[in-house]
A and B are shown apart, each in its own frame.
Chain A
Amino acid sequence: MIRALDLTKRFDDFTAVDHLTLTVEPGEILGFLGPNGAGKSTTVKMLTGMLQPTQGTAEIAGHDIIEYPMQVKQRIGYIPESGAMYESLTPAEYLDFVASLYHLDPALAESRFNDLLDVFGILHARDQRMTEMSKGMKQKVLISSALIHRPDVLFLDEPLNGLDANAAMVVKELLKKLAAQGKTIFFCSHILEVVERICTRIVIIDKGQTIISGTARSITEDTDSKSLEDAFSRITGIRDAGDLSNDFLAALERV
Chain B
Amino acid sequence: MLDRLLARLDIDPRQFRALLRTSLRIDFRTGLFAGSRKKKSKRRFPGLWQILVFYGFLGLVISFLILESGDLFFSGTSMMTIVMFSVATSILVEFQSIVVAPEDYHILAHRPISSRTFFASRMANMLVYLGVITGAIGLAPSLVYVFRDGFQPHLGVAAMLGMLGAGVFTAMAIIFLYVNLLRVIHPKKLRRVFSYLQLVLSFVVYGSGMIFSSLFNAGLVTDVDIPQESWMLLLPPTWFSSVLSIFEGRGFWLEFASILLGAGATFTLLTYAYEKLSLEYAAMIARLDETTEDQKPARPSRTMSLPMFRRNEGRAAARLIRNQFKYDQKFRMSVLAIVPLTVLYLIAGLSGGGGLADPFVDPAEHVEKANLLYFAMAFFPVLLMASLVRSDAWQASWIFHATPSDKGKIVLAVKDVLVVFFILPYLLALGVVFLFYFESIRHVLLHVFILSMLSHLILQVIVMVNPYLPFSRPSRKGERTAGIFIGIIVAAVVMTVIINVLARLIYPSAYATGITLLVLALLTLVFERLAAERVRTKTRRLQFDQ
Query: Which A residues are closer than 8 A to B by beta carbons?
Result: 11, 48-51, 70-71, 73-74, 76, 78, 80, 82, 84-89, 93, 96-98, 100-103, 129, 131, 155
What 3 pairs between A and B have smallest CB-CB spacing?
A: A100-B18, A84-B106, A73-B112
Q: Is the CB of B109 within 8 A of A50?
A: yes
Q: For A51, what are the chain B residues with a Cβ–Cβ distance below 8 Å?
A: 283
Q: In the complex where A50-B105, A50-B283, A51-B283 touch, is A101 in contact with B111 (Cβ < 8 A)?
A: yes
Q: Answer yes or no: B17 CB below 8 A from chain A CBs.
A: yes
A-contact 0/1 string along B104-125, CB 8 Å cutoff: 0111111111100000000000
Chain A's nearest CB lies how many Å from the CB of B44?
Answer: 15
Q: Answer yes or no: B332 CB below 8 A from chain A CBs.
A: no
Q: How far is the CA of A155 from the CA of B110 in the complex (A)?
A: 10
Q: Answer yes or no: B329 CB below 8 A from chain A CBs.
A: no
Further 8 A-B residue pairs, CB within 8 A, beyond A88-B30, A103-B15: A76-B110, A86-B26, A86-B103, A86-B107, A93-B22, A98-B111, A101-B15, A131-B30
Q: For B111, what are the chain A residues with a Cβ–Cβ distance below 8 Å?
A: 73, 98, 101-102
A-contact 0/1 string along B11-35, CB 8 Å cutoff: 0001101110110011001110000
Q: Is the CB of A101 within 8 A of B110?
A: no
Q: For A71, what are the chain B residues with a Cβ–Cβ distance below 8 Å?
A: 112
Report 10 cross-chain contacts, Cβ distance below 8 Å, ordered by A residue: A51-B283, A70-B114, A76-B110, A80-B106, A85-B107, A86-B26, A86-B107, A93-B25, A101-B15, A101-B19
**Which partner residue on chain A sits nearest B113 by CB separation?**
A101
**Which partner residue on chain B sits nearest A69 by CB separation?**
B112
**Which partner residue on chain A sits nearest B106 by CB separation?**
A84
Chain B's nearest CB lies how many Å from the CB of A169?
Answer: 27
Q: How far is the CA of A11 from the CA of B481 in the complex (A)?
A: 39
Residues 85-118 of B contacting A (Cβ, < 8 Å): 103, 105-114
Of B17, B26, B113, B287, which one neighbours A89 at CB under 8 angstroms? B26
Residues 15-61 of B contacting A (Cβ, < 8 Å): 15, 17-19, 21-22, 25-26, 29-31
Q: For A85, what are the chain B residues with a Cβ–Cβ distance below 8 Å?
A: 107
Q: For B29, what are the chain A residues with a Cβ–Cβ distance below 8 Å?
A: 88-89, 129
Of A84, A100, A131, which one neighbours B17 at CB under 8 angstroms? A100
Q: For A82, what are the chain B residues with a Cβ–Cβ distance below 8 Å?
A: 106
Q: Is the CB of A101 within 8 A of B107?
A: no
Chain A's nearest CB lies how many Å from the CB of B163?
Answer: 30
Chain A's nearest CB lies how many Å from the CB of B103?
Answer: 6
Interface residues on B, range: 20 to 34
Q: Is the CB of B18 within 8 A of A97?
A: yes
Q: Is the CB of A48 within 8 A of B110?
A: yes
Q: For A89, what are the chain B residues with a Cβ–Cβ distance below 8 Å?
A: 22, 25-26, 29
**Which partner residue on chain B sits nearest A75 by CB separation?**
B112
Q: Is the CB of B18 within 8 A of A49?
A: no
Query: Which B residues are closer than 8 A to A by beta carbons?
Result: 14-15, 17-19, 21-22, 25-26, 29-31, 103, 105-114, 283, 287
Chain A's nearest CB lies how many Å from the CB of B397?
Answer: 16
Q: For A97, what are the chain B residues with a Cβ–Cβ distance below 8 Å?
A: 18, 21-22
Of A74, A87, A93, A96, which one neighbours B112 at CB under 8 angstroms? A74
Q: For A49, what are the chain B residues with a Cβ–Cβ distance below 8 Å?
A: 109-110
Q: Is the CB of B283 within 8 A of A101?
A: no
Q: Is the CB of A101 within 8 A of B18?
A: yes
Q: For A101, what are the chain B residues with a Cβ–Cβ distance below 8 Å?
A: 15, 18-19, 108, 111-113
**Which partner residue on chain B sits nearest A74 by CB separation?**
B112
Q: How far is the CA of A11 from the CA of B109 in the complex (A)?
A: 19
Chain B's nearest CB lies how many Å from the CB of A70?
Answer: 5
Chain B's nearest CB lies how many Å from the CB of A92?
Answer: 12
**Which partner residue on chain B sits nearest A104 by CB separation?**
B14
Of A76, A86, A131, which one neighbours B22 at CB under 8 angstroms? A86
Q: How far is the CA of A70 from the CA of B29 in the complex (A)?
A: 31
Q: Is the CB of B26 within 8 A of A102?
A: no
Q: How far is the CA of A71 from the CA of B14 in the complex (A)?
A: 17
Chain A's nearest CB lies how many Å from the CB of B545?
Answer: 13
**Which partner residue on chain A sits nearest B102 by CB separation?**
A84
Q: Is the CB of B25 within 8 A of A100?
A: no
Q: For A129, what are the chain B residues with a Cβ–Cβ distance below 8 Å?
A: 29
Q: For A98, what are the chain B residues with a Cβ–Cβ distance below 8 Å?
A: 111
Q: For B18, what are the chain A residues with a Cβ–Cβ distance below 8 Å?
A: 96-97, 100-101
Q: How far is the CA of A88 from the CA of B25 in the complex (A)?
A: 8
Q: How far is the CA of A82 from the CA of B290 in the complex (A)?
A: 12
Q: Is the CB of A100 within 8 A of B14?
A: yes
Q: How far is the CA of A82 from the CA of B30 in the complex (A)?
A: 20
Chain B's nearest CB lies how many Å from the CB of A25?
Answer: 22
Q: How far is the CA of A239 from the CA of B14 in the complex (A)?
A: 54
Q: Is the CB of B283 within 8 A of A103?
A: no
Q: For A48, what are the chain B residues with a Cβ–Cβ distance below 8 Å?
A: 109-110
Of B21, B26, B107, B287, which one neighbours A84 at CB under 8 angstroms? B107
Q: Is the CB of B107 within 8 A of A103?
A: no
Q: How far is the CA of A96 from the CA of B113 in the complex (A)?
A: 16
**Which partner residue on chain B sits nearest A93 by CB separation?**
B25
Q: Is the CB of A70 within 8 A of B112?
A: yes
Chain A's nearest CB lies how many Å from the CB of B104?
Answer: 9
Q: How far is the CA of A155 from the CA of B109 in the complex (A)?
A: 14
Q: How far is the CA of A97 from the CA of B22 in the complex (A)?
A: 7
**Which partner residue on chain A sits nearest B108 by CB separation?**
A101
Chain B's nearest CB lies how many Å from the CB of A242?
Answer: 29
Q: How far is the CA of A98 from the CA of B25 in the complex (A)?
A: 15
Q: How far is the CA of A157 from the CA of B447 in the complex (A)?
A: 63
Q: How far is the CA of A49 from the CA of B14 in the complex (A)?
A: 22
Chain A's nearest CB lies how many Å from the CB of B477?
Answer: 13
Q: For B105, what are the chain A residues with a Cβ–Cβ distance below 8 Å?
A: 50
**Which partner residue on chain B sits nearest A71 by CB separation?**
B112
Residue from the set A51, A85, A98, A100 with the largest chain B CB neighbour count within 10 Å: A100
Chain A's nearest CB lies how many Å from the CB of B491?
Answer: 33
Q: For B21, what are the chain A residues with a Cβ–Cβ distance below 8 Å?
A: 97
Q: Is the CB of A103 within 8 A of B14?
A: yes
Q: For B31, what are the chain A residues with a Cβ–Cβ distance below 8 Å?
A: 88
Residue from the set A50, A70, A93 with the largest chain B CB neighbour count within 10 Å: A50
**Which partner residue on chain A sits nearest B103 by CB separation?**
A84
Q: How far is the CA of A129 from the CA of B108 in the complex (A)?
A: 20
Q: How far is the CA of A103 from the CA of B15 in the complex (A)?
A: 8
